Chain A
Amino acid sequence: MALIDTISPLLTTGWSKGDAGWSLKDYEARGGYAQLKRILSSKMTQDELIAEVKKSSLRGRGGAGFPTGLKWSFMPKAAPEKYVVCNTDEGEPGTFKDRDLLRYDPHSTIEGMIIAGYAVGAKRGYNYIHGEIFDIYQRFEEALDQARAAGYLGERILGSDFSFDLFAHHGWGAYICGEETGLLESIEGKKGQPRYKPPFPANFGLYGKPTTINNTETFAAIPFILGMGGEAYLNLGKPNNGGTKLFSVSGHVNRPGNYEVPMGTPFAKLLEMAGGMRGGRKLKAVIPGGSSAPVLPADVMMECTMDYDSIAKAGSMLGSGAVIVMDETVCMVKALERLSYFYFEESCGQCTPCREGSGWLYRVVHRIEHGQGRPEDLDLLNRVTDNMMGKTICALADAAAFPVRSFIKHFKSEFEYHIEHKKCLVDPEVQRAGSGFFRASSVARVA
């Protein structure tokens, strides 16, 4: 398992026993389902519940950072059929927090979803789980069975008038399904191609019915917020950036893993928790919010605190909280080439600017990396991104463009060196050593 550490454990409270602490009885022993019981027994109103979530300043943990309470309040009251959907299609490169949330504490997400169902008046929910983590999907199904058997799911929950049931749906390898309307299409048994918005899911969601869709970590935070009160939760972080957040730290650190820290924690502190730089090498760059977020050079990143506003001010996005750390052994052209290939591969093909533009970006970065770059290529790349950003149905085109623009902006001399000298500034053997992958010089064939 990945290592974990925390400053103020909330979401990770239940993680200390590893794979031995996920079941219903463990969750109940930690105070689990107490908030659901309190809401039902006190007959808390939907408005009171949403007001409490608004007070917490909880913002969507999937990447967009939209205020959760506000999103819930968009749901039409009168509609007879409504849905709650959880987005665990965690495919943003660098992000692996929701996998651990469902692995070590699936019931906090389940309780959060039931409470959301109560708040928005939905009777049914789905959790869409990334296809590559099938064992986590199976565990979640087991947790659902436990919750159903204990009366937390189903008809007239705990003897109240409230009925809600919840099911797991798995993906099968498509990054685009992390986009909320692509995800809804996918649950409907179709290609995961995003829909035009508006209408937004709150009006036209799953099966065309009003739907609230939130990230796993967002739902998981709900029971804790109600337990401590919205204001106390807000105060854990900083204004407009309430609570704690899970950060998935990957790349060139000594201890990659998930770290839960209060919003506003200095990046330097997070880096220290992750064991510092691998081999004591020098920090070169950080992608602070998953591969779609603009890269930041080391000196800018070291001045940031980990919250939506600070990272935005520095010119990037907190996104999903995936912190990709790169040291001086990284070739920025090669790094960008791999990311550009990803967006090219994962574009759903629906919108021409994205389908064609992502291919252009990959092919041009690829030729620079392989010594065939032309002096005009950097301008060409920027022009292609101009023709992609904001011109498509969903944000994948923007996600493909941000890395290209930011890598060129901050590391232009490295791209120019590649074009001029037809090779990398960083020696390939240094790059290999940086990755930490060592092997015997002769390889025995097995097949």
Chain B
Amino acid sequence: MNKQNDMLSPELSPEALRKIDREVAKYPADQKQSAVMAALVIAQDEKGWLSKETIAAVASYLGMPPIAAYEVATFYNMYDLQPVGKYKLTVCTNLPCALSGGVHAADYVKEKLGIDFNETTPDGKFTLKEGECMGACGDAPVMLVNNKRMCSFMLPEAIDKLLAECN
């Protein structure tokens, strides 16, 4: 199967399932559902986003009703229920960041990419999101790249550098 088909199929790769097994092992044997948050992240990392079919596949693997996994996927902000660009940029605009330029940083990124919040560039490279507090207010303005990489002190030069690095 080529890569394209892998992405479309709700089935998770053996590697992803191994990672999910490691998460399941953290909890009591009768509490597999506890691993659902981590499992959805693992699935999202592999598929790029979470389709209903992918969520159902995760639920089935953990032996829980699909609706229970869907509730989790829709409750927490960082699950992507629609396709996103190769780089999802989330800019914190909450008050502590805003006091140090968070809103201006977001405006600057919008202008550079020509998109607004919740939009993706036509080439599918960047998606821009407005974020809530990431717990790094001392490093404001802060941005997250693809949920897992925190970028600090995002003044114009740092933003230019980050965008140039994203290929």
Contact = CB atoms under 8 A, between A and B. Distances in A.
Contacts of A93: 94-96, 132-133, 137
Interface string B140-167: 1100100111101001100000011000
Task: Bin the interface of chain A by size.
Answer: 35 or more
A228 interface: no
B136 A133 contact: yes
Contacts of A94: 95-96, 133, 137
A286 to B, nearest CB: 12
Given A134-B147, A171-B76, A438 B156 contact: yes
Contacts of A172: 37, 40-41, 76-79
B114 interface: yes
Nearest to A99: B135
A351 to B, nearest CB: 16
B32 to A, nearest CB: 8
Interface string A182-214: 000011111110000000000000010000000
Contacts of B71: 190-191
A80 to B, nearest CB: 13
B34 interface: yes
A338 B93 contact: yes
Interface stretch (A65-73, A230-238, A306-314, A429-437): A429-437
Given A132-B144, A172-B41, A256 B75 contact: no
B138 A96 contact: yes
17 contacts: A91-B133, A91-B135, A93-B94, A94-B95, A131-B76, A132-B135, A188-B31, A188-B34, A189-B72, A207-B28, A250-B99, A256-B138, A342-B94, A435-B99, A437-B155, A438-B156, A439-B156
Interface of B: 26-28, 31, 33-38, 40-41, 62, 64, 68, 71-72, 75-79, 93-96, 98-105, 108, 111-115, 121-123, 125-126, 131-141, 144, 147-150, 152, 155-156, 163-164
